[in-house]
Amino acid sequence: MRKDTGQVFRIEDYRPSDYLIPRTSLAFALSPEATVVTAVLDIERRQGIAPGTPLVLDGDELTLVSVAIDGKPLADDAFSSDPQHLTIANPPHDEAFQLTIVTRIDPSRNGTLMGLFRTNGVYCTQCEPEGFRRITYFTDRPDMLSVYTVRIEAERAQAPLLLSNGNLVEQGDLAGGRHFVVWHDPFPKPSYLFALVAGDLAGLHDEFTTASGRKVALGIYVEHGKQDRAAYAMDALKRSMSWDEEVFGLEYDLDVFNIVAVSDFNMGAMENKGLNIFNDKYVLADEATATDADFANIEAIIAHEYFHNWTGNRITCRDWFQLCLKEGLTVFRDHEFSADQRSRAVKRIAEVRTLRAHQFPEDQGPLAHPVRPRRYREINNFYTATVYEKGSEVVRMIRTILGPDDFRKGMKLYIERHDGDAATIEDFLAAFEDASDHDLSQFALWYHQAGTPNLTISTAHDAEHQEFRIEIEQSVPPTPSESRKRLMHIPLAFGLVGEDGSDITPTSVEGATVENGVIHVRKRRQIVRFQGVRERPVVSLNRGFSAPITLSVEQRADDLLFLARHDSDLVSRWQSLYTLFTDALIHGFRSVRGQKAPEFPTGLIAAIGDIASDESLEPAFRALALTLPGEADVARDIGTNIDPDAIRVSRDALASAIAKANGERFQALYDGFDGGGTFSPDADSAGKRALRNVLLDYLAVGAEDPSLAARQFDQATNMTDKAAAMTVLAHRFPGHARTTDALAAFETQYGHDPLVMDKWYQTQATIPGADAVDRVKALMTHQGFSLSNPNRVRALIGTFSTLNQTGFHRADGAGYTFFAETVLEIEKRNPQLAARLATAMRSWRSLEPTRQAAAREALLTIAAPDDLSSDLRDIIERTLA
């Protein structure tokens, strides 16, 4: 494990490496405990660098066997090595030489899941961001592009399948039951895109012909017996390949594209050139084992990794500060793909919810950082919602500002200019500026300045002068190490909605640039005046969520209700309801804190019933509209002095008021959708299931007994309906005999299938209330649970700490104490996983004082050991700062 050294990396310290490695040849002699790696590196001294300049390569936990230059072994005093470096103090003065390094590694005892490791008997690598240095000594940075040739040798029985990047060029048998292959990847790539997989896996095969006629052999490799569950992923892959040709004009460039699914993986998936490696959760799906959410995630992640082939691989990052160059852009591309494959509005609403749930709290807490950071201690901790999701929002705003045509031109120019490069955000922005006549210098602050901007907005209508005024004031809250903020360029999409629900077109506008329904906010304070507005319009703001900001608007409840029913923009209709819900829940929260029973506006409650049964709206939209803000969302909007128990009381009271007022309507609707019939994972069918399952939850809130949910659980013919019923039973009727039966039945049926069991852990980890801590502790001893599998850990510990507000934030601090011990235990094997879990504590300062003190104690417990990994040390110190 890499221990913390306190070293901080700074963007301004970037300089090109002294030496280049144009060709890399690797030979792996695979063996579970002692794999030998022979790296032959063609090294060239960069122009202008003095002959004899020391060559320093990166390493991590490597055992060095030998070093040779141009075939001659180096004397012991000609190099020095420690676990982090290999230094050749006085390399040959020739412009080019060949360095041969032999290292030995132990994949079986590599719990970090970085470098070469074993997962269920399969050899697998993960090199992004700095895992390649755990395989051999190398200049392990993304601007070191090299052409790789990889020879893999292994026991045939143990590993009949041997994969690496690029094309297969040679294979054969060896003595002693061993065999070998050679792969060659013609595209120069950074070391983080290197991959190797070796093992006994089943393949699902298909073919894709690109627009220019190249035949690509497609393969998805999974555990034996699970090939059928890879069919949806294969379909998503082919749709992604076509879509990227149609929408971005980008074609695949190798003869082979392989995907491998493994069960131990730190994140979702990895875009290694020609050999994507996936967490099996994001490959395997069929109706009996996967929910609609799983299908949607698979589609999105398959697309995401495939799209990286251009945005990430052909054009990579100069350094890790530029991570958003590939991630933000690729998330934007996968969002657009899913929007085209499904319902655009529904997809956008889901994005807004995710951004608010994950990125806003990051931006508003101690871990806030710019989309393109300037400092880091541990780069692993910067694969964040800010880099990914806000990074995608920034690209979306560029498109909003430029318009679709200039945006397309900018993308084309970016790719033409930088294909084969390791590029920067400045390069990216320059392409859009040069392809259009837009000045993006103020806009660029979105990359450089952390924090969620806020717009305070008020409006006034002057009937006499037929003028409507929007007064806008912008502010960006201070974030760690950035107390003073500069003014941003915020594209605010809006509409002036008239009495009949259609938009009013004013005769003229002054006070701001207004184009295509977007106000370009650039100053601290702006008054936008619209002329020729006879009647008072209702203003619809941030339509389509055009900017990732918060709004402070004094908007009348009846105006919001009007927008919820009539706005032409569906995102805004959803947002209006969401705002009304939030206001109601905060009001309810204050009542509860003041020992009063919460009361809720009847207009809102009636509107919910109407929207639920409005046939002109797609079911998926109605499901989203009916979903109350989560307890954590409400907490964030309250901001300080959080008492999660009171939030829960308020939220349950609102749900039950809605259920009571609309019970009959909900029941009729629920009965109208039947859960049976042939299953299809398409968006329409999924939307119907989503609505039915939201209704089931409301019906359970209003019910005396769990029979409806129990019946759905027993009769469900797909995992979406089954898991939803199990959750309703567990959360609304905890401890009830029908609930206990359902949980036991689920375990009996799926106990052999870890991915499905994750739903069982998750459901129980999120049962609200104080006894959650003991429940989670008990589940940790379940025979299927393991602290070394990231999916299991996230299903149980991750969901408990992020989604179970009342359980985790128990007033006596027992949730935190348990969490601190568990994080430290996990850190011993997998520091990356531990660090990511620990971010669940980031909002601790907004808790009420008792909980805050308990949370601080737990954070200090985590911080106490003096040999913490750099991953965990970095998160904990920033959280406590």
| Assigned token pair, 626 | 């009916």
Pairing of strands 167-173, 256-262: unpaired
Cα(686)–Cα(696) distance, integer angstroms: 15
Binding segment (CB under 5 A) for Zn ion, from list 325-333, 619-627, 795-803, 845-853: 325-333
| Other C-beta atoms lying within 10 Å of the C-beta of residue 446 | 24
Q: Measuring CA to CA, which residue among 435, 453, 584, 456 is closest to residue 526?
A: 456
Q: Which residues contact 822 (CB under 8 A, 6 or more apart)?
A: 780, 787, 797, 837
Site for Zn ion in 330-349 (CB under 5 A): 330
The site for ligand TRP, by CB under 6 A, has a size of 12
Single residue of 101, 237, 267, 649 touching ligand TRP by CB under 6 A: 267
Of 117 and 760, the one with the shorter C-beta distance to ligand TRP is 117
Single residue of 383, 581, 679, 746 touching ligand TRP by CB under 6 A: 383
Residue 153 interface partner, choices ligand TRP, Zn ion, none, CB cut-off 5-8 Å depending on type:
none
Binding segment (CB under 6 A) for ligand TRP, from list 263-271, 513-521, 642-650, 726-734: 263-271
Strand order in the sheet with 122-126: 115-119, 122-126, 196-199, 161-164
Q: What 8-state DSSP symbol labels residue 390?
A: I
Residue 383 interface partner, choices Zn ion, ligand TRP, none, CB cut-off 5-8 Å depending on type:
ligand TRP
Of 223 and 271, the one with the shorter C-beta distance to ligand TRP is 271
Active site residue 305: yes
Of 153 and 327, the one with the shorter C-beta distance to Zn ion is 327
Cβ atoms of 454 and 469 closer than 8 Å: no
Q: How far is the CB of 571 from ligand TRP (least distance, A)?
A: 25
| Other C-beta atoms lying within 10 Å of the C-beta of residue 100 | 18
97 binds ligand TRP (CB under 6 A): no
- N-to-C CA span, the chain: 24
Cα(567)–Cα(570) distance, integer angstroms: 7
H helical segments located in 526-643: 557-566, 570-593, 602-612, 619-626, 631-638
The residue sitting closest to ligand TRP, measured at its beta carbon, is 267
271 binds ligand TRP (CB under 6 A): yes
Q: How far is the CB of 304 from Zn ion (least distance, A)?
A: 6
Of 185 and 389, the one with the shorter C-beta distance to ligand TRP is 389
Cα(496)–Cα(157) distance, integer angstroms: 69
Of 267 and 729, the one with the shorter C-beta distance to ligand TRP is 267
Residue 97 interface partner, choices ligand TRP, Zn ion, none, CB cut-off 5-8 Å depending on type:
none
280 binds ligand TRP (CB under 6 A): no
261 binds ligand TRP (CB under 6 A): no
Residue 806 interface partner, choices ligand TRP, Zn ion, none, CB cut-off 5-8 Å depending on type:
none
Cα(688)–Cα(672) distance, integer angstroms: 10
The DSSP-derived string for 14-49 is ----SEEEEEEEEEEE--SS-EEEEEEEEEEEPTTP
Q: Is the dihedral angle over the CA atoms 309, 310, 316, 320 positive or is it negative?
A: negative
128 binds ligand TRP (CB under 6 A): yes
Kindly provide the b/e burial profile for residues 627-649, where b requires at least 16 CB atoms within 10 angstroms of the residue's own CB: bbbbbbbbbbbbeeebbbbbbbb
Binding segment (CB under 6 A) for ligand TRP, from list 241-249, 262-270, 686-694, 766-774: 262-270
Strand order in the sheet with 55-58: 55-58, 85-88, 79-82
185 binds ligand TRP (CB under 6 A): no
Single residue of 292, 327, 633, 643 touching ligand TRP by CB under 6 A: 327
Residue 835 interface partner, choices ligand TRP, Zn ion, none, CB cut-off 5-8 Å depending on type:
none
Pairing of strands 215-222, 202-209: antiparallel
- Write each residue from 277 to 316 as x if it is in contact with Zn ion (CB under 5 A), else as -, in one continuous string: ----------------------------------------
Cβ atoms of 35 and 102 closer than 8 Å: no
- Write each residue from 491 to 530 as x if it is in contact with Zn ion (CB under 5 A), else as -, in one continuous string: ----------------------------------------
Q: How far is the CB of 267 from ligand TRP (least distance, A)?
A: 3
Cβ atoms of 334 and 244 closer than 8 Å: no
Site for ligand TRP in 289-308 (CB under 6 A): 304-305
Single residue of 26, 101, 163, 269 touching ligand TRP by CB under 6 A: 269
Catalytic residue (choose from 223, 305, 336, 393): 305
Of 146 and 830, the one with the shorter C-beta distance to ligand TRP is 830
Of 327 and 378, the one with the shorter C-beta distance to Zn ion is 327
Pairing of strands 518-521, 79-82: unpaired
Site for ligand TRP in 511-540 (CB under 6 A): none
Of 270 and 496, the one with the shorter C-beta distance to Zn ion is 270
126 binds ligand TRP (CB under 6 A): yes
Pairing of strands 35-45, 72-73: unpaired
Single residue of 81, 146, 266, 338 touching ligand TRP by CB under 6 A: 266
Of 633 and 758, the one with the shorter C-beta distance to ligand TRP is 758
Phi, psi values for residue 305, rounded to 5°:
-65, -40
Binding segment (CB under 6 A) for ligand TRP, from list 67-75, 215-223, 265-273, 280-288: 265-273
DSSP SS3 for 279: strand
Single residue of 154, 196, 197, 270 touching ligand TRP by CB under 6 A: 270
Q: How far is the CB of 278 from ligand TRP (least distance, A)?
A: 9
The DSSP-derived string for 216-269 is EEEEEEESTT-GGGGHHHHHHHHHHHHHHHHHH-----SSEEEEEEES--SSSE
Cα(729)–Cα(742) distance, integer angstroms: 8
Interacting residues with ligand TRP (CB under 6 A): 126, 128, 265-267, 269-271, 304-305, 327, 383
Interacting residues with Zn ion (CB under 5 A): 327, 330
Residues annotated as part of the active site: 305
